[in-house]
């Protein structure tokens, strides 16, 4: 478990270091996850090492929402003052996200659709084929 946790934290640290050093507009942990995906693609046996630890972390994922809940309670007055702007931003961003996901799905479905097969020639005299 300690080896797996060390690997996860090292990949996150590497992602953060790359983002800071290269000035990339991507969060460091996201780049760390991409590096983990690449590493798992190169060495699939690492999945056996990571799986027990990541399963345990995912089982306690709800604990990660505690800081967000505390932040909401601390800034409750400000949230109330800016409720209209926050509500509009949530509705508009949800609609834009749904529309862009639908557009992407339609765009990808064009590539996944089977190519149409040419129709078989029809018999024009109405009789049995020779």
| Closest C-alpha among 36, 43, 26 to residue 18 | 26
Contact between residue 28 and residue 19 where contact means Cβ atoms under 8 Å apart: yes
Contact between residue 72 and residue 79 where contact means Cβ atoms under 8 Å apart: yes
Residues 1 and 56 in one domain: yes
Does residue 123 belong to any structural domain of this protein? no
Q: Which structure tokens are listed for 80? A: 């109330």
Does residue 35 belong to any structural domain of this protein? yes
pLDDT for the residue numbered 1: 84
Residues 55 and 93 in one domain: no
Residues 44 and 92 in one domain: no
pLDDT for the residue numbered 126: 59
**In angstroms, rounded to a whole number, what is the distance separating the alpha carbons of residues 33 and 55?**
16
Domain range holding 18?
Answer: 1-60
Residues of the chain with pLDDT under 50: none
Residues 81 and 56 in one domain: no
pLDDT for the residue numbered 121: 67
Q: Which structure tokens are listed for 26? A: 């991507």
Does residue 15 belong to any structural domain of this protein? yes
Residues 3 and 42 in one domain: yes
pLDDT for the residue numbered 40: 93
pLDDT for the residue numbered 69: 87
Does residue 128 belong to any structural domain of this protein? no
Number of structural domains the chain divides into: 2
Q: For 26-53, what is each residue's pLDDT tens digit?
A: 999 999 999 999 999 999 999 999 999 9
Q: Determine if residue 43 is left, alpha or beta; phi over 0 gives left, psi from -120 to 50 gives alpha, anything else beta.
A: beta
Does residue 121 belong to any structural domain of this protein? no
pLDDT for the residue numbered 130: 58
Hey, CA dihedral for 41, 47, 53, 54, is it positive or negative?
positive
**In angstroms, rounded to a whole number, what is the distance separating the alpha carbons of residues 30 and 47?**
18
Does residue 20 belong to any structural domain of this protein? yes
Contact between residue 29 and residue 15 where contact means Cβ atoms under 8 Å apart: yes
């Amino acid at each position: 478990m300690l080896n797996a946790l060390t690997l996860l934290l090292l990949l996150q640290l590497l992602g953060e270091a790359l983002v800071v050093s290269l000035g990339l507009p991507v969060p460091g942990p996201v780049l760390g996850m991409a590096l983990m995906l690449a590493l798992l693609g190169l060495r699939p046996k690492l999945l056996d090492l990571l799986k027990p630890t990541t399963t345990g972390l995912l089982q306690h994922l709800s604990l990660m929402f505690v800081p967000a809940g505390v932040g909401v309670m601390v800034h409750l007055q400000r949230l109330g003052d800016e409720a209209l702007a926050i509500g509009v931003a949530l509705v508009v961003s949800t609609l834009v996200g749904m529309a862009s996901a639908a557009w992407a799905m339609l765009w990808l479905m064009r590539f996944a659709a089977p190519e149409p097969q040419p129709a078989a020639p029809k018999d024009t005299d109405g009789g049995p084929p020779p």
